Amino acid sequence: MSTGGNGRLTGRVAIVTGAGRGIGRAIALEYAREGAKVMVASRSRGTVEQVVDEILNSGGTALGITCDVSSRQEVDAMVAKTIEHFGAVNILVNNAQGFGTAEKPEASPGFIPLESFPDDTWDYTFQTGLKGTLYGMQAVFPHMREHGGKIINFGSGNGVTAMKGTAAYNANKEGIRALTRTGANEWGRYSIYVNCLVPTIVTDSAKAYFNARPGSETKLAGTIPLKRWGEVDRDIGPVAVFLGCPDSDFITGQTLHVDGGQILHA
């Protein structure tokens, strides 16, 4: 993993939330390969330690912290600890997202008809998604206002296509896209770049969705022009590096669909 100081993110400090598995883990590992010092953040101490160990054992630099992004206090503490330990925060990846409810978390959005959508599921989806993203952006702003920085948020194809049965997740993710554009518009004068990724990737939550709906994985893959699902290491990590490095210094307020062309059928 060591880059010998020549990686595209050498000298940069990145925070990646939801980094214990899936997309967040892939981005954290790719950032470390490219020379970034990475704050690995997730709700589970066990997965945090695993990812930190992977990075350290491969010659990278990382620190781990448990963080529930639904708590402004925990998000603030995560950013403060990053700056205290590494001296900066140049990149924030707002990847974390919860499903279900605080009392009964789930692996995927599930299917609930709009007319009977419960308040607790709606509120938890927004608290861990849109509000968690907002907390992260606000927490890094004082530092990035002085030094500039890159913020990467996450939307979803569910929101773009208004998928049936996932109303809270759809509205939440579309809200994050609007928040992304607003942040880019207001903060561009500080050289703060804010962009949003919409991936079509097989993650743990996607697998849970497919397992609950036999045949859906193959059916949905047929709607992708490239005829395959994206892979976290192959398809997401490198794009996140691009958005975090100087190569993307004239890109802000954008939604990048890393989806094999699926948006063409939306």
pLDDT digits (tens, 9 = 90+) for 228-239: 889 999 999 999
Which ranges of the chain have pLDDT less than 50? 4
Q: Who contacts 16 (Cβ-Cβ below 8 Å, separation ≥6)?
A: 24, 27, 28, 31, 38, 39, 40, 41, 93, 95
Catalytic pick among 135, 169, 193, 209: 169
Tell me, what's the pLDDT at 221? 83
**pLDDT tens by residue, 205-226:** 677 778 877 888 888 888 899 9
Tell me, what's the pLDDT at 205? 67
Give the CA diameter of the chain.
56
Cβ–Cβ < 8 Å for 25, 49? no
Give the CATH class of 13-265.
Answer: alpha beta
Question: Taking the model in full, what pTM does it have?
Answer: 0.94
Alpha carbon distance 211, 107 (integer Å): 11
Tell me, what's the pLDDT at 197? 98
CB-neighbour burial class of residue 249 (10 A; exposed 0-12, middle 13-18, buried 19+): exposed
Cα–Cα nearest to 111, from 34, 38, 209: 209
Tell me, what's the pLDDT at 212? 78
Encoding tokens for residue 91?
């990149």
Tell me, what's the pLDDT at 199? 95
Q: Any catalytic annotation for residue 169? A: yes
